Amino acid sequence: MNTEDELNDWRTTWQTHVHVASPSSCEVRRAALKQQRNLRATHIMELVTGAILLLMSAAVAWRMRSAEMFLWAAFVWLTSLAASAFSIWNWDILWKHDVKSVAEFSHVYEKRCLAKINAARFGKAFTVVQTSISGLWLSWDWYRSALSSARFGGAMLFLLMFSAGFWVFFSRYRRSALQELRRLQASQDAP
């Protein structure tokens, strides 16, 4: 085969149109709307959960009027506000970007994955802090004989199971975000 034939073969191959299947604009818009709805639903659930915790702590403090209960309620309120502030700051990226080009969307999606990783890291740290404080508080009450040994054991068991559930949830959440980030980077590195 000579150079001219090889060049003609290459030109023919290069000029043939290869059809690449891409989603229609309706499908892309539908997926974007679904993502927005899911994001809003997540934030609404966070707000509802926070409101329930705040109301529950206020009801307990009102029912069991003591300095310790009011301090506990104030702590719940402050940590709930801190968690809400972090959530709003962390997810601010997704509220600002609605309709973008593919490159911009890819960049925003990468930021979304990083925000999920940050949220999982914050959730794990928050779980450790809350478990430590609650465990110390329960231990102090047991030491002062405010709790019987059976109630103390049940409360500690519940606290540990509840905390382990949150730890597993945040671990899985972080793992899925890391997998999404790896897939995104692999698709960007692909030719």
43 φ, ψ (degrees, to nearest 5): -65, -35
Q: Are residues 68 and 107 in the same domain?
A: no
- On the question of pLDDT at 19 being above 80, the answer is no
Q: What is the pLDDT of residues 105-149, one digit of tens each?
A: 777 778 888 888 888 898 899 889 888 888 888 888 888 888 888
Give the residue from 52, 81, 110 where a domain finishes: 81
- Would residue 38 count as lying in a domain? yes
- Would residue 5 count as lying in a domain? no
Spatial distance between the Cα atoms of 46 and 82, rounded to a whole number of angstroms: 13
- Would residue 106 count as lying in a domain? yes
Q: Are residues 173 and 140 in the same domain?
A: yes
CA proximity to 134, closest of 114, 163, 112:
163
For the chain, the domain total comes to 2
- On the question of pLDDT at 98 being above 60, the answer is no
Q: Are 163 and 127 in contact (CB under 8 A)?
A: yes
The domain in which residue 74 lies consists of 23-81
Average pLDDT over the chain, rounded to whole?
78
State how far the alpha carbon of 155 is from the alpha carbons of 52, 141, 142, in Å.
Answer: 20, 11, 11
Q: Are residues 148 and 184 in the same domain?
A: yes
Q: Are residues 120 and 173 in the same domain?
A: yes
Identify which has the larger pLDDT, 59 or 105. 59
- Would residue 151 count as lying in a domain? yes
Give the per-residue pLDDT at 17: 61
**The dihedral formed by the CA atoms of 53, 57, 59 and 60, expressed in degrees to the nearest 10:** 130
Q: What is the pTM of this model?
A: 0.58
- Would residue 178 count as lying in a domain? yes
- Would residue 91 count as lying in a domain? no
- Would residue 41 count as lying in a domain? yes
Q: Are residues 66 and 127 in the same domain?
A: no
Mutual orientation of helices 67-96 and 25-63 as an angle, nearest 10°?
A: 170
Give the residue from 31, 50, 81 where a domain finishes: 81
